Amino acid sequence: MPYHNRRLRRPPLPVIALLAALLAPRAALAEAAEPPSGPAFSELWAYLMSGEERFFDPSWPISDLAYFAASIGSTGSLAGVPDLDRLPAFPGRIHLVVAEVGNYALSHFCLDPAYPLRDQLLVDIAMAARPFDGVQIDFEAVGKADREHFVEFLRLLKAVLGDKVLSVALPARYKEEQDLFGYERIGRIVDRVIVMAYDEHWSGGEPGPVSSLDWARKVAEYAATKLPPEKLVMGSPFYGRAWADKSLSRAYKHSALSAIIEEKGLPALRRSGEIPFFEYDETVTVRLYFDDAASTLSRLSLYRAASVRNVAFWRLGQEDPAIWAALAGAPAGEAAADPAEAPAAETEPAAGAGNAD
């Protein structure tokens, strides 16, 4: 059912609580869905971006589809809810992802109960969730002052959703002092915690794997001590990142331009509409780290060794296609595949930058 983004009068909290009863008949219990027959995990989640439905094949061994993403508009209302009619028939659960990943000010006004936006946002999400099996919250722009408000928001949302599956995406951590939200505390509120075990190395830092195996192992082992196995979902990336040893697209002061002209021995300047410019060739070395089916299977094997039951892939359309045949062919309850049987790849030690706050 398409979602119409119409504003509702903000009801008192008792009315918000009653919405849970309205949602119950359509709800899917967290343990109701049967796991797919092929993979060696109880649940295999995959993210799908709205508008990229062509990348989703319902025959793949996916138990949970996280449909990305509704967002919070500039006035605090829910916007951009994906249309379920665009998806093919799928036997698994479909979760509405609500994301705010960059605007700390907007997150503050929507989470702090001192402002009138929080209760209305809860209503908006509850209404949008009616045709879905669950809701996932992916708020990555929550400041220190709003951490407690975020936890309370999750508690209220769970009360509103009732039996629908509430999941939350949290950053990867492997030490107590890094775990600022508190896996254990949030795990007592929600049905699933998706640990985003990627971006160990990111575009603004030093080159390295998006998720090195040693780092992913440490994250999984830490998370397993804080969350019950049925609630822990370990993330695995499908994408890669590139770094160049030179960044040339930037603003230049005149002294720097003069130095380039002298260094390169450039001829007389050319002009376009009386504006001077010049061209020259530059050698740039690019290093690109990415995951293929073999590295993904290795990561899944170490997750299994850490007693992880559930995994999630970010995101469909970015993967090595060979991963699906490997997952579908694995006997249930056993390792998805033997990485030693995969084509050999050149490897080198990870940069070991860790996951900075």
Parallel, antiparallel or unpaired: strands 165-171 and 192-196: parallel
Query: Residue 54's CB: how many other CB atoms inside 10 A?
Result: 9
223: nearest Cα among 186, 267, 268, 257 = 186
Contact, 116 vs 163, CB < 8 A?
no
140 catalytic, yes or no?
Answer: yes
Amino acid (one-letter) located at 162 = G
Name the β-bridge partners of 48: 67
Contact, 120 vs 79, CB < 8 A?
no
Alpha helical stretches, state H, the chain? 13-23, 104-111, 117-128, 147-161, 183-187, 213-226, 254-264, 293-305, 322-328
Contact, 155 vs 185, CB < 8 A?
no
Contact, 69 vs 48, CB < 8 A?
no
56: nearest Cα among 338, 317, 327, 340 = 317
**Residue whose structure tokens are 């809860």:** 122
Judged by DSSP in three states, 128 sits in helix
Give the per-residue SS3 of 64-88: EEEEEEEEECCCCCEECCCCHHHCC
Kindly state the tokens that stand for 62.
Answer: 């996916």
Max Cα-Cα span within the chain = 77
- Helix then strand then coil, % of the chain, to nearest 5: 30, 20, 50
Kindly state the tokens that stand for 142.
Answer: 């929550």
What's the CA gap between 182 and 215, in Å, rounded? 19
140, 152, 184, 221: the active-site residue = 140
Residues designated as active site: 140
